[in-house]
Amino acid sequence: MTIDLPPQVERIIRDAVLSGRYHSAEDVLTEAVAIWQTQKAGAITAGEQRSEAIERLKTFGKRHGLSLGGTTIRELRDEARP
């Protein structure tokens, strides 16, 4: 297979090989694709991550009898949003 890469990607690959961490450009691309596949398979959206974190926090708080001093999880979540 022959592919054309943008110059900045070629530079990244060349630098990775020159660093000594990889033996060839093929090694760099093979690892990059493996990482991409792993991330893609386990990818969840930021919203899903946030929802899961909130649920874990609520469960933890209930289990340990913790109080937020009158502040709700929703208020904390909204305060943390950019």
Domain that holds residue 35: 7-42
Task: Flag whether 1 is in a domain.
Answer: no
Separation between Cα atoms, residue 67 and residue 80, nearest integer Å: 18
In a shared domain, residues 56 and 76: yes
Q: Does residue 71 fall inside a structural domain?
A: yes
Task: Tell me, yes or no, whether 2 lies in a domain.
Answer: no
**Domain check: are 54 and 31 in the same one?**
no
Q: Are residues 28 and 52 in the same domain?
A: no
Q: Are residues 11 and 38 in the same domain?
A: yes
- Total of domains in the chain: 2
Gap between the Cα atoms of 41 and 6, Å rounded = 26
Q: Report the C-alpha gap between 2 and 11 in whole angstroms.
A: 17
Instruction: For residue 11, give the amino acid letter.
Output: R
pTM of the model: 0.50
Q: What is the CA radius of gyration of the chain?
A: 22
Residues 56 and 29 in one domain: no
Same domain flag for 57 and 70: yes
Q: Are 80 and 72 in contact (CB under 8 A)?
A: no
Q: Which tens digits make up the pLDDT trace of 20-77?
A: 999 999 999 999 998 888 777 666 777 777 888 888 888 887 777 777 777 776 777 7
